[in-house]
Chain A
């Protein structure tokens, strides 16, 4: 597959932010994940847990709780506001002040007509959902301390509220505490912590009027809400039980603890032939090193997230078919989009952080070594620019022109364009004014010759700007011939400057002819969202890799799938390729060999050589190491199109530079782990 000089970049100190809340929409199978910096991400569980949308956060906005009401997504935080998100334009739609101090929790009833929020001042407030807004409806009896958790009874008539030291059940219609029941006092921890109040971090109200609570004393307690009596206590941990999640059929319950473990409870009968069931502790899943803050129980899997910023999907083996893709546990750490842009010609890299941008120049080496050897660096990599963003909104996208002369970034409220001028060692950064037309953008992209800037705007439209010395001029708006309102998440231009392709989360790929500034065609819509896309520099083919790992090549001139793509579809991809968990996040091509497609995901990078035969079903997909030890004849016989390199781990970006050197941006998970705060102390054997 050829040899490359590899720049192994480890100075991108990207830190994923802790997961603070999650909400799962059963009907659309979308999971909303909120992070500590206020980012909200939408994952599509119907499509291999692909990160479909990212709504950037904002300074001063934290998300304590998320909830879906029908198709609408709400969040609350300690700034006391309720936020509804615009899922099409990936920004907050509006905010409503709850007037109760910091809001700890939000929950909607199963009908999706009312929202309940729990406030610091001890009130539970009910909001009614109206078209495009929410309306304050009523206040419940005020409790003595902050309301930390809320759960609606499936019928929507009662709400269980967990506060400090107790749980209370309200009647929704009257707003009063239910007559039969006053309150359920939660025991405090034994010993030294006796004086400390117990926070009921999470409650779950089941349809058989059982309330289950998880508290800071490490207990999961089962209550009878009609009598207000405690049925069963499970001591799960010495620390806090932060989150609870119940399955849809209410037969299984998950509890996330500060130790990073997730404990499963199941509603099963002690005697096989008898119907009376009870909650029994069964499995313990250990997938986190830090607190589990948020939990979701889907039909087939336990989804957990916490302070270590990993989103972990652990399927239940009895609910899935063994060996299928669904049964593979999946750990999502990095976003499914690129945070790195390469200035191919100039050898510079742009790293995107929520609050700043960094531009680095790659190191140089004059040596030539044998494969696997480490070369000494004559010129060290150098940080050229730290660019802090303006305003409160976090950066949602950024791009660097291939020549390295232009830089653009966008947030929810502004788009900024800069010109970079290199003068030997000094760098000049000049801001270039953009026309007012562009108030925000979802994706930004420069053309290959850096003469144009493309910015995707609402309803999948793309604005085209012409760049000159110190000016950006609005040229045209490209509009697709479809009704999709979804935002564009991928944008790619061809090197010859003729084509521009955009992909949105409705799985549509639109292609525009830039010479004519006209809509050209739409690639036949495939059921899975494209996760990476690129246009071949010479062949006018667009290559798309989808979230389900399928690869397609579409000829833009013939407006049909290419021969190779058809043969690939006919033969089918190799089983171990399809069973990979991480989606491909980047596709590029080699200038030297037009048959090469270079792509990578989080764990490997791969070069597909279209001239070689496709791998057989029973052959080993990952056979580079074996091939190396074979003789020439056997190597030719056994080699196939997929050349996979697993030497590099935790990849954020693999890019091919102009001089045929490869830039590999790694972010070792260990580095992330060391920068996390220390986990709660656990006694481990032999330590």
Chain B
């Protein structure tokens, strides 16, 4: 087996754009927000993404406008760098190396960071002031810094600078700290900490008035306190206003200080008059609870970011003018991931009771489909209807959804939605309440035939039902609707999964250990297959040339039956969490949940040997994934990544990150494109996206024509809409930039690949903590800056460590010298063994895989 240096797992969209407060530029034309490892620049008027500022290698944790140059923005990241960007041109200006959790810049231009501070062996977070040396170089190392606060909250909302940076207010738990930077005096104001009140009293956010000495704090019980006279321990005073019924999530003063904005769970933006707090205005129905509020420097635009990964731009305090919606990260995806054949959008659970259609290409939500059609009441301990299953038929003209409420007794209804060409959206056709007596475990459409579509629903009540569209009498005015065609069961066992073969001629339904195969044409039971022990967890038919195979996964085994012989072709011991067939090729992907990490194997059912495998794909089990067909097949790939030629594999990790595989050619193409000079001018407002979406965002863009969708795909690939060809204005500037880019390019690529290697190693070796809490991990990198040689040494040490652990896991005698290890994989590749009987080698493969990368790394190091 080959090492897969040419494919790597990347975040591809779906990142949280609401992770940190967005930034509105001085002229209110652009909105800059964090999005995972990159930074996105949106137009506030057209909602369109104009730039991806790429360069950080880990989660971006802070974003601040440069007060001394309003065309620049600082960003900080968990990778330990602060970068200064020219956001209009998307150019990186400066890099500073440090380790940072969030960042603030006072009005005087001093940079403050929240970073881990060691104290009494306990890791705490401290606010640190920093003097950026005035240099023109691209990379700057910062040495001197002073700690302002010892213990602060990592949430940037909990720190605010007042009065042009004269003092800092920081809240944590039940205490407000105010520190006067010039006088170096420090005041502490605590609220009642006893009893029930304590938890509700806790501070949630803080904001400072831009002109007056007034600090506004939000609290867990929905109160807002306005603190004054806080330069005295005893005579300080505060007033309280109370509208929110649950915690205040965000507070913000308008630039002139005339208004205070607040938001919380109620998804209402409240505008308080400063000094007349009794008067307040509301902007209700913002969709979901407010996480951050930002006001543009001229006060004309408000911007709220919401928990459902949405940024709303509000004009003139009253009107929602633009909505930038990313992938909604709900409480978890209950439905399977699907790709809408019409829009090529990913379909999954969105807001509660909704399905979202999310464009993979543009990393934006296309639209929401309200399935439950009931008011969502934001109240804890309230059972609400949830969309638990959804299925799209192969042409995208029917959508079936199952909603369920498990209050005292399970309430289920099955809804069928027809695609309406006129309105370009799904219209409810049939509602079947209580289609089954128990929870529905799976539904699927038959892929077949032009005119008759069949839906099969499988329920834990012991039955599976087939539903068919019945054409009414032509004399009746009624439309066609769905009704039950067949009810099947098998020895009153509980069915779990169902699957249609690619041509729709066979239906496989699993009942515990038994797989039954039915003919949908006559509803005859054709055969039963069984391979105890273990109940079948997942079923999947092979495609194209492998359509004679049926794959079934139990919690211990993966079995492949040949349907022509009705016998077991092969089986292997694998803990498969998800089986997925590529609709455009024979490939089947199997995600295997080994203890805490997930491995991926891609194979053809015909040959029991995976032609791609990646261990330690990510932490946690992967239970949702989808093959998104490509518009045009890739070519010129290496053998190991050929499975990605026809479609792209997307998968969701347990903490709702959407990941995908990126092949080398793609990456190269992206790199090449990113070198092109992006341009921005006022023509932005007239892009096709704007015409398509900006004005009519409620409608789905009609892209039946292939041209249209290709345009989409490409423009995303470019990273920037390359729309104004032959921009002559900046030609000189451009060429210099190009030069600059060229020079730094190779090193950057190299660093990335190194980084990637390191990451995968670490993940394999131990359970890596999640990036948000990754303090210990970054801590290792924090110390004194290492030379390259030291780096290499360190990496070597890590690798050795890794191999040891790996060795222990596989309980194989480990050969310590790397040279021998490098040789071993070759031998293995040459000796193909029948997979079915030797599941062990598959587990072992990662070890050589990682090792083979070593020479490559070494060669790249000068």
Which chain A residues have a beta carbon within 8 Å of chain B's beta carbons?
Answer: 234-236, 266, 268-272, 280-284, 318, 685-686
Interface contact B240-A283, CB-CB below 8 Å: yes
B237 CB contact (under 8 Å) in A234, A268, A270 = A268
Instruction: Check B830 for interface membership: any CB of A closer than 8 A.
Output: no
Secondary structure call for the A interface: strand
Q: List 23 A-B contacts (CB under 8 A).
A: A234-B276, A234-B278, A235-B276, A235-B278, A236-B278, A266-B237, A270-B212, A270-B214, A271-B211, A272-B213, A272-B230, A280-B239, A281-B239, A281-B277, A282-B228, A282-B237, A283-B237, A283-B239, A283-B240, A284-B240, A318-B234, A318-B235, A318-B237
Residue of B nearest to A218 (CB): B278
Instruction: Tell which of A268, A272, A318 has the most Cβ of chain B within 10 Å.
Output: A272
Q: A235-B278, A281-B277 are in contact. List 6 more A-B contacts (CB 8 A).
A: A266-B229, A280-B239, A282-B228, A283-B238, A283-B239, A318-B234
Please measure, in the bound complex, the distance between the C-alpha atom of A686 and the C-alpha atom of B234, giving whole angstroms.
36
Please measure, in the bound complex, the distance between the C-alpha atom of A318 and the C-alpha atom of B233, giving whole angstroms.
9
Query: Which residues of A are found within 8 Å of B213, using beta-carbon distances?
Result: 269-272
Given A234-B276, A271-B213: A280 touches B234 (CB 8 Å cut-off): no
CB distance from A244 to the nearest CB of B (A): 17
Please measure, in the bound complex, the distance between the C-alpha atom of A685 and the C-alpha atom of B245, giving whole angstroms.
8
Please measure, in the bound complex, the distance between the C-alpha atom of A48 and the C-alpha atom of B235, giving whole angstroms.
24
Please measure, in the bound complex, the distance between the C-alpha atom of A236 and the C-alpha atom of B278, giving whole angstroms.
7
List 6 tightest A-B contacts by C-beta distance, closest first: A270-B212, A282-B239, A272-B213, A282-B237, A272-B231, A318-B234
CB distance from A230 to the nearest CB of B (A): 14
Which chain B residues have a beta carbon within 8 Å of chain A's beta carbons?
Answer: 163, 211-214, 228-231, 234-240, 245, 275-279
Interface contact B279-A235, CB-CB below 8 Å: yes
CB distance from B842 to the nearest CB of A (A): 59
A-B contact count, CB below 8 Å?
47
Residue of A nearest to B162 (CB): A272
Query: Which residues of A are found within 8 Å of B240, using beta-carbon distances?
Result: 283-284
B212 CB contact (under 8 Å) in A271, A281, A686 = A271
Given A280-B239, A318-B236: A268 touches B279 (CB 8 Å cut-off): no
Interface contact B278-A280, CB-CB below 8 Å: no
A268 CB contact (under 8 Å) in B211, B229, B245 = B229
Residue of A nearest to B276 (CB): A235
Please measure, in the bound complex, the distance between the C-alpha atom of A318 and the C-alpha atom of B236, giving whole angstroms.
8
Query: Which residues of A are found within 8 Å of B238, using beta-carbon distances?
Result: 282-283
Given A268-B229, A272-B229: A284 touches B239 (CB 8 Å cut-off): yes
Please measure, in the bound complex, the distance between the C-alpha atom of A13 and the C-alpha atom of B428, giving whole angstroms.
66
Please measure, in the bound complex, the distance between the C-alpha atom of A55 and the C-alpha atom of B230, giving whole angstroms.
45
Query: Which residues of B are found within 8 Å of A269, using beta-carbon distances?
Result: 213
Please measure, in the bound complex, the distance between the C-alpha atom of A175 and the C-alpha atom of B466, giving whole angstroms.
99
CB distance from A252 to the nearest CB of B (A): 9
Residue of A nearest to B228 (CB): A268
Please measure, in the bound complex, the distance between the C-alpha atom of A236 and the C-alpha atom of B231, giving whole angstroms.
27
Query: Which residues of A are found within 8 Å of B234, using beta-carbon distances?
Result: 318
Query: Which residues of B are found within 8 Å of A268, using beta-carbon distances?
Result: 228-229, 237
Please measure, in the bound complex, the distance between the C-alpha atom of A686 and the C-alpha atom of B230, giving whole angstroms.
35
Query: Which residues of A are found within 8 Å of B163, using beta-carbon distances?
Result: 271
Query: Which residues of A are found within 8 Å of B236, using beta-carbon distances?
Result: 318
Please measure, in the bound complex, the distance between the C-alpha atom of A236 and the C-alpha atom of B240, giving whole angstroms.
13
Please measure, in the bound complex, the distance between the C-alpha atom of A685 and the C-alpha atom of B221, giving whole angstroms.
13
Please measure, in the bound complex, the distance between the C-alpha atom of A268 and the C-alpha atom of B228, giving whole angstroms.
8
Interface contact B277-A280, CB-CB below 8 Å: no
Query: Which residues of A are found within 8 Å of B235, using beta-carbon distances?
Result: 318
Please measure, in the bound complex, the distance between the C-alpha atom of A558 and the C-alpha atom of B47, giving whole angstroms.
95
Residue of A nearest to B243 (CB): A685
CB distance from A268 to the nearest CB of B (A): 5
Query: Which residues of B are found within 8 Å of A234, using beta-carbon distances?
Result: 276, 278
CB distance from A221 to the nearest CB of B (A): 13
Please measure, in the bound complex, the distance between the C-alpha atom of A686 and the C-alpha atom of B379, giving whole angstroms.
13
Query: Which residues of B are found within 8 Å of A685, using beta-carbon distances?
Result: 245
Please measure, in the bound complex, the distance between the C-alpha atom of A282 and the C-alpha atom of B229, giving whole angstroms.
11
Please measure, in the bound complex, the distance between the C-alpha atom of A270 and the C-alpha atom of B229, giving whole angstroms.
8
Query: Which residues of B are found within 8 Å of A280, using beta-carbon distances?
Result: 228, 239, 275
Please measure, in the bound complex, the distance between the C-alpha atom of A685 and the C-alpha atom of B222, giving whole angstroms.
12
Please measure, in the bound complex, the distance between the C-alpha atom of A266 and the C-alpha atom of B214, giving whole angstroms.
14
CB distance from B204 to the nearest CB of A (A): 19
CB distance from A553 to the nearest CB of B (A): 37
Query: Which residues of B are found within 8 Å of A282, using beta-carbon distances?
Result: 228, 237-239
Residue of A nearest to B229 (CB): A268
Residue of A nearest to B222 (CB): A685
Please measure, in the bound complex, the distance between the C-alpha atom of A234 and the C-alpha atom of B275, giving whole angstroms.
8
Query: Which residues of B are found within 8 Å of A271, using beta-carbon distances?
Result: 163, 211-213
Please measure, in the bound complex, the distance between the C-alpha atom of A235 and the C-alpha atom of B276, giving whole angstroms.
7
Please measure, in the bound complex, the distance between the C-alpha atom of A281 and the C-alpha atom of B240, giving whole angstroms.
9
Please measure, in the bound complex, the distance between the C-alpha atom of A292 and the C-alpha atom of B235, giving whole angstroms.
26
Query: Which residues of A are found within 8 Å of B277, using beta-carbon distances?
Result: 281
CB distance from B163 to the nearest CB of A (A): 8
Query: Which residues of B are found within 8 Å of A270, using beta-carbon distances?
Result: 211-214, 228
CB distance from B409 to the nearest CB of A (A): 29
CB distance from A635 to the nearest CB of B (A): 29
Please measure, in the bound complex, the distance between the C-alpha atom of A235 and the C-alpha atom of B279, giving whole angstroms.
8
Please measure, in the bound complex, the distance between the C-alpha atom of A281 and the C-alpha atom of B235, giving whole angstroms.
15
CB distance from A251 to the nearest CB of B (A): 9
Please measure, in the bound complex, the distance between the C-alpha atom of A63 and the C-alpha atom of B275, giving whole angstroms.
37
Please measure, in the bound complex, the distance between the C-alpha atom of A281 and the C-alpha atom of B275, giving whole angstroms.
8
Query: Which residues of B are found within 8 Å of A236, using beta-carbon distances?
Result: 278
Query: Which residues of B are found within 8 Å of A272, using beta-carbon distances?
Result: 213, 229-231
Please measure, in the bound complex, the distance between the C-alpha atom of A89 and the C-alpha atom of B163, giving whole angstroms.
61
Please measure, in the bound complex, the distance between the C-alpha atom of A280 and the C-alpha atom of B211, giving whole angstroms.
15
CB distance from B259 to the nearest CB of A (A): 16
Query: Which residues of A are found within 8 Å of B276, using beta-carbon distances?
Result: 234-235
Residue of B nearest to A233 (CB): B276
Residue of A nearest to B277 (CB): A281
Residue of A nearest to B273 (CB): A235
Please measure, in the bound complex, the distance between the C-alpha atom of A263 and the C-alpha atom of B359, giving whole angstroms.
54
Instruction: Tell which of A235, A270, A685 has the most Cβ of chain B within 10 Å.
Output: A270
Please measure, in the bound complex, the distance between the C-alpha atom of A272 and the C-alpha atom of B278, giving whole angstroms.
24
CB distance from B274 to the nearest CB of A (A): 10
Please measure, in the bound complex, the distance between the C-alpha atom of A318 and the C-alpha atom of B230, giving whole angstroms.
13
Query: Which residues of A are found within 8 Å of B239, using beta-carbon distances?
Result: 280-284
CB distance from B185 to the nearest CB of A (A): 11
Residue of A nearest to B244 (CB): A685
Please measure, in the bound complex, the distance between the C-alpha atom of A269 and the C-alpha atom of B230, giving whole angstroms.
11
Instruction: Tell which of B229, B236, B238 has the most Cβ of chain A within 10 Å.
Output: B229
Please measure, in the bound complex, the distance between the C-alpha atom of A272 and the C-alpha atom of B183, giving whole angstroms.
13
Query: Which residues of A are found within 8 Å of B231, using beta-carbon distances?
Result: 272
Query: Which residues of B are found within 8 Å of A686, using beta-carbon distances?
Result: 245
Please measure, in the bound complex, the distance between the C-alpha atom of A685 and the C-alpha atom of B228, giving whole angstroms.
28
Please measure, in the bound complex, the distance between the C-alpha atom of A271 and the C-alpha atom of B208, giving whole angstroms.
12
CB distance from A276 to the nearest CB of B (A): 12
Please measure, in the bound complex, the distance between the C-alpha atom of A684 and the C-alpha atom of B301, giving whole angstroms.
32
Please measure, in the bound complex, the distance between the C-alpha atom of A281 and the C-alpha atom of B279, giving whole angstroms.
13
Residue of A nearest to B167 (CB): A272
Please measure, in the bound complex, the distance between the C-alpha atom of A686 and the C-alpha atom of B266, giving whole angstroms.
14
Residue of B nearest to A252 (CB): B237
CB distance from B245 to the nearest CB of A (A): 6
Please measure, in the bound complex, the distance between the C-alpha atom of A268 and the C-alpha atom of B239, giving whole angstroms.
13
Please measure, in the bound complex, the distance between the C-alpha atom of A269 and the C-alpha atom of B279, giving whole angstroms.
22
Query: Which residues of B are found within 8 Å of A281, using beta-carbon distances?
Result: 239, 277
CB distance from A682 to the nearest CB of B (A): 13
Please measure, in the bound complex, the distance between the C-alpha atom of A686 and the C-alpha atom of B228, giving whole angstroms.
31
CB distance from A274 to the nearest CB of B (A): 9
CB distance from A262 to the nearest CB of B (A): 13
CB distance from B192 to the nearest CB of A (A): 10
Please measure, in the bound complex, the distance between the C-alpha atom of A236 and the C-alpha atom of B163, giving whole angstroms.
28
CB distance from A398 to the nearest CB of B (A): 44
CB distance from B850 to the nearest CB of A (A): 59
Residue of B nearest to A686 (CB): B245
Please measure, in the bound complex, the distance between the C-alpha atom of A531 and the C-alpha atom of B276, giving whole angstroms.
46
Residue of B nearest to A283 (CB): B239
Please measure, in the bound complex, the distance between the C-alpha atom of A270 and the C-alpha atom of B227, giving whole angstroms.
11
Residue of B nearest to A236 (CB): B278
